[in-house]
Amino acid sequence: MATTTMSHQAIGSIVSHRPFKASQFLKEPLNVPMKFRPKRFKIEATASQISVIDNTFLSPTKSRPQESKKKSNEAALILIRHGESLWNEKNLFTGCVDVPLTHKGVGEAIEAGKKISNIPVDLIFTSSLIRAQMTAMLAMTQHRRKKVPIILHNESVKAKTWSHVFSEETRKQSIPVIAAWQLNERMYGELQGLNKKETAERYGTQQVHEWRRSYEIPPPKGESLEMCAERAVAYFEDNIKPELASGNNVMIAAHGNSLRSIIMYLDDLTSQEVTTLDLSTGVPLLYIFKEGKFMKRGSPVGPTEAGVYAYTKRLAQYREKLDAASQATLD
């Protein structure tokens, strides 16, 4: 466990020593530092750090504060596990190794995008791993709003400066994407890169099952699900939930274990219940955040099926606006 804790601290020192926020899209970036809570790898960050509610980004009107209050009554939260990766295909333990999607995984991400193409997305969070980022980007190519997802870069002053968008109109047609290591897959330690079947033959099926599916038992020099949940839920509480409370619609593209951790929090599951939870690759899950509570809505249906839009009046109205805009374009 000490080894994993050290790895968390090392990663955190690299990623968080500079502010990392959606306000980089604004003409005057905010300068609020991000800090760690030492015992839980938790980040103290105000909603304003990554808030996308700003006249220069989402709306050119002066009535934005009133719109924000109205908007904050309800927000959509979309969770997507990345599509199949090259190591999923090879049946290897992947963990925090950064491998891309397979051709099948690309297709899964695109199909996921079709399923959420009528659901509003204002802000995207992904892990720092390419398979989650590819999934988010590919999914958004199918969205009817046609906004462009742009990954925010803050690795250095030059990266921040060179990636700045100077067009206000372009910023309004963009969606900020925030990559956070706290949403990474569970670190599998010495199992990473090993074949799952061969590992079971070497250590025994029961032992490997405990490493993979138990809540508290970590693999050698790796993370348990409990440890993964600690960092993922802390990040969700500090950085994502405030955005939902402000009325921003959020999509999270991440991994099986980091998303299971978040779902455990959203659905108030026990440590036993979460170990039996399975998430398919490339299948989006929808939650509605309203009056401080999360309501599970299952998996959004495809664009030709209207079932999901009966769940809330706001989603139905959003689709009506998209339909009207599409018709106006045809006319």
Q: How far is CA 46 from each of CA 33, 60, 164, 241, 274, rounded to the nearest angstrom? A: 10, 24, 22, 11, 29
> Is 82 an active-site residue?
yes
| Amino acid identity, position 110 | I
Binding residues for substrate: 81-88, 94-95, 131, 185-188, 196, 212-213, 256-257
Distance CA 317, CA 170 (A): 25
Distance CA 271, CA 249 (A): 28
DSSP of 259-315, one letter per residue?
A: HHHHHHHHHT--HHHHHT----TT--EEEEEETTEEEE--SPPPTT--GGGGS-HHH
Q: How far is CA 2 from each of CA 36, 78, 121, 223, 226, rounded to the nearest angstrom? A: 18, 34, 39, 10, 14
From 82, 108, 223, 230, active-site residue: 82
Distance CA 271, CA 12 (A): 26
Distance CA 59, CA 129 (A): 31
CB 118 within 8 A of CB 284: no
| Amino acid identity, position 284 | P
Binding residues: 81-88, 94-95, 131, 185-188, 196, 212-213, 256-257
> Is 185 an active-site residue?
yes
Name the pairing type of β-strands 174-179 and 148-151.
parallel
From 74, 108, 185, 230, active-site residue: 185
CA atoms within 13 A on the CB side of 29: 20
Active-site residue list? 82, 185
